[in-house]
Amino acid sequence: MSGLITNIQGYSIHDGPGIRTVVFLKGCGLECQWCSNPECISARPEIGFFRSLCTACGRCESVCPEEALICKAGQPPSIDRQRCSGCGECVSVCYYKALVLYGRKMDVVEVFDAVKRDAIFYQASGGGVTVSGGEVLLQPDFVSKLLENCRGDGIHTCIETSGFGAESAFRQILHYTDLVLFDLKHMDNEKHIRYTGQPNNLILSNARVLVESGVEFLFRMPLIPGINDEVQNIRKTADFLTDLGDRARRIEIMPYHRLGKGKYESLEIQYRLAELPVPESDCLEVVRNTFEESGISCTISK
């Protein structure tokens, strides 16, 4: 059984308790305008090109089986992304790492062997393994088997999800999950469609499934200035959490940042929010206070 993986990142301290290894999957049903991992959106392998690292040697053009790389003398290559199959042959001959492969097939055993190497850190810190994305609900069989193996080895399991996926896939994965980090983007359905490409009804339905499952969870909100930080949306979010019951009366705010900008450039994708300012501390406090006044415990991630 294999999954499509973009990265396995060790020693993470922001994706669940303790020190964790994060497995990033490729493929997501949402296209959030603020996404910091654009390489994880498409469900097929892609080539990223960091132009500043290129020496214009031309080796990549000579090995491309699809003739998708075009090099002119002394110039960095251009990539015909319609022809590119994401095979990675060009990456193997790019000595300066200007070309990178986003997404490769790995089987469960490979990934499990990679994450359990850090078991000593999990034991010392109360950490474990977090499967992120992309969207975990799009690869339920792979994720379930990986988490089952981790649990069998005494490793704490966590998933990060947008909740946009089949309920059956969610229930399947929940069976092997110790903690769920669940994002709520926007309560207004039309605005959710505008900024993520999809409605929010399935997400809100799966949020209820999560609360009723008994699995430990934390709802989170990526806070995007001018998009979902208005008081009306914060109060509607608080009302939704209140309706879910006492276990859901807390949320973590994740302030917008522009750290993914370089990856958009490497994929030649327009980053529509490139000029959007990061939220200032006083704005974050207003949002936190609004949640607190509505009876929702609120923290701000660092």
The two three-digit tokens of residue 233, written as one number: 């949306």
Domain match, 269 and 200 both:
yes
Element (H, E) at 201: helix 201-213
214: left (phi over 0), alpha (psi -120 to 50) or beta: left
Number of domains in the chain: 2
Strand partners, 102: 46
* pTM (global) more than 0.85: yes
Domain match, 158 and 79 both:
no
Element (H, E) at 238: helix 231-244
Q: What is the mean predicted confidence (pLDDT) over 262-290?
A: 94
User: Residue 274 above 90 pLDDT?
Assistant: no
User: Residue 29 above 90 pLDDT?
Assistant: yes
Residue for token pair 């290894």? 21
Averaged pLDDT of the chain = 96
Q: For residue range 189-214, list pLDDT tens digits in order.
A: 999 999 999 999 999 999 999 999 99
Q: What is the mean predicted confidence (pLDDT) over 74-89?
A: 94
Last residue of a domain, one of 85, 102, 119: 102
Element (H, E) at 284: helix 281-293
| Contact by Cβ (8 Å): 244, 207 | yes
The parent domain of residue 163 ranges over 2-43+104-300
CA 104, 105, 107, 108 dihedral sign is: positive
Domain match, 36 and 57 both:
no
CATH number of the domain enclosing 33: 3.20.20.70
Q: For residue range 98-138, list pLDDT tens digits in order.
A: 999 999 999 999 999 999 999 999 999 999 999 999 999 99
What sections of 76-228 are H helices per DSSP? 89-92, 108-115, 119-125, 140-152, 167-174, 189-196, 201-213
pLDDT of residue 135: 98
User: Residue 1 above 90 pLDDT?
Assistant: no
Domain match, 88 and 147 both:
no
Domain match, 33 and 131 both:
yes
Domain match, 174 and 295 both:
yes
Domain match, 28 and 165 both:
yes
Domain match, 61 and 131 both:
no
CATH number of the domain enclosing 70: 3.30.70.20
